[in-house]
Structure 1
Amino acid sequence: MISFHPSFQDLQSFSAGNCEPALALMISAHVDMCSQCQQDCIEIQSEMAGEFITQPLQVPSLNNQYYNMMSKITDLPILDKIPPELSDTSIELDGKFFELPRALRRYVKNTGNWSRLVGKLWQAPVDLGDIGKANFMYMEKGGRVPEHTHKGNEMTLVIDGQFGDGIAHYDCGDFTVMDNKHNHFPHSEADDGCLVFTIVDQPLHFTSGVARLLNPFSHLFFK
């Protein structure tokens, strides 16, 4: 069951086409998986369209605003049609296939090779083009990321499985944003592990044990 969603304010910005690209991609992928947020976006877009339609359209500036707004709505990533040549729907790790939300499928061909980080933790870098870089992270059962906080923001979407981090427990479809006010240690005890998609705009800062020795090099691994 999905329990963690984008804020309503972020859904409003997303629906209006005003989100910064990385957040828009994450919300789009979450909305692909979440019927509640799909319905919220439909209602937000309907309300926004209604507000413009009821205005006197003979006013040129309102005409322009209306058509610009409708153009943004129809161009949202959630509504994009994926070209056939980019229609890969899953990624694979060691014989396991993970189905991806529609918004992320276009990036399958831009996903690098998997590499083992520490213990039972795997990472595959994703080139998002102008948006920047992201990672698929996979935790095997018993895998964990050392306790850390953030110099910037970390956006995470659970693609498959479940994990906890000392703050909450997250299931498939859950979306979270962490910053320097959060200190957590993601770990999975699910039999099939956990796959997440994450965008981090600054390196992690480890806060406990010998992992603190990794801080000068964290940008090489957790980025």
Structure 2
Amino acid sequence: MINFHPTNERLDAFADGLMAPAEALIISAHCDMCSKCAKKVALYTDANAEIVFDQSSPKAEPGIFGDMLSQIMSEEVDRGIVVEPTNRVLELDGRKFTLPRSLNRLSESMGNWSHMVGKLWQAPVNIGGDNVANFIFMEKGGSVPEHTHRGSEMTLVVNGEFSDGLADYDSGDFMVMDGKHIHTPSTISDEGCLVFSIVDKPLHFTSGWARLINPFSHLFFK
């Protein structure tokens, strides 16, 4: 069950085309997996279109659109949004993972899988710009050392589940972490966990041997 979503403000900016490409990519992938957010984006798109193309109409009073959104979402109205089946598959050591539709093209700009520490695997993805993107797979019992963030990190759970000491996440969950968060992602799921992650600055490790990496982290960023 998907419990973590982009904020309504992010979804509105996404619908209005006001979002940076990297963030738009990962939110689009979340919407591929989350019908609730896909419906919200459709509503925001309709509302923004009315404002643009009907300048003669008075602006709606504050709260009206929010009330309409809540009513429609509570009724689970099907507005004809169809999440098309995906057809690109990532493979790692015999495992196969189906990608959200918006991430299909990334399989063509993806580097080779490399084994990191412990039970972690990573495959870099070239998305252009200044951000660094990776698919990261944690085998059962795998974990990322405790860390915080010099910038921000956006993560989408593509398959499986993990916990980080702050919350438990499942397939489709979207989260944003920054310097206010300290966490240790790990999984005990039999099938492991695959995530897609985008960062704009290197991580900052806060515990154990991993802190030794911090002075050199810029060498691995980009």
TM-score range, shorter chain: 0.7 to 0.9
- Give the structure 1 partner of residue 109 of structure 2: 110
Which residue number corresponds to residue 41 of structure 1?
A: 41
In structure 2, the partner of 1:165 is 164
> Could you list the per-position Cα deviations for residues 60-88 of structure 1 after superposition, in whole angstroms to 9, with x for gaps in the alignment?
xxxxxxxxxxxxxxxxxx99x9xxxxx86
Residue 94 of structure 1 deviates from its aligned partner by 0.6
Tell me, yes or no, if structure 1 residue 150 matches structure 2 residue 149: yes
Letter of the 1:158 counterpart: V
2:138 equivalent in structure 1: 139
Instruction: Give the equivalent residue in structure 1 for 2:25.
Output: 25
Percent pairwise identity: 57
Q: Is the CA contact (8 Å cut-off) linking 1:204 and 1:219 kept in structure 2?
A: no
CA 1:171 to 1:8, structure 2 compared with 1: closer, same or farther past 3 Å? same
TM-score using structure 1 length: 0.83
Q: CA deviation at 1:131?
A: 6.6
What one-letter code is carried by the residue in structure 2 that aligns with 1:39? K
More helix by share: 1
Amino acid at match of 1:201: D
Aligned to 2:54: 54
Amino acid aligned to 1:26: I
Q: Give 1:146's aligned amino acid.
A: P
Q: What corresponds to 1:15 in structure 2?
A: 15
1:18 Cα shift?
0.3
Q: 1:221 offset after TM fit, Å?
A: 5.0
Query: Aligned with 1:4: secondary structure?
Result: coil
Q: Judging changes above 3 Å, is the alpha-carbon distance between structure 1 residues 9 and 167 closer, same or farther for their aligned structure 2 residues?
A: same
Listed as ranges, the gaps of 5+ residues in structure 2 are: 58-80
Q: How far is the alpha carbon of 1:214 from its aligned partner?
A: 1.5
Once the two structures are overlaid, the 10-residue window that deviates more, 5-14 or 130-139, is 130-139
Unaligned runs of 5+ in 1: 58-77, 82-86
* 2-structure distance, mates of 1:131, 1:212: 24
Offset at residue 153 of structure 1 (A): 0.4
TM-score after normalising by structure 2: 0.83
CA 3–33 in structure 1, closer or farther in 2 if over 3 Å, else same: same
Give 1:172 deviation, angstroms: 0.1
What is the CA deviation profile of residues 15-39 of structure 1, one whole-angstrom value per residue up to 9, with x for unaligned ones?
0000011111111010010000001
| Contact 2:146 2:206 survives alignment (8 Å) | yes
Q: How many residues align?
A: 197
Q: Which amino acid aligns with 1:187?
A: S
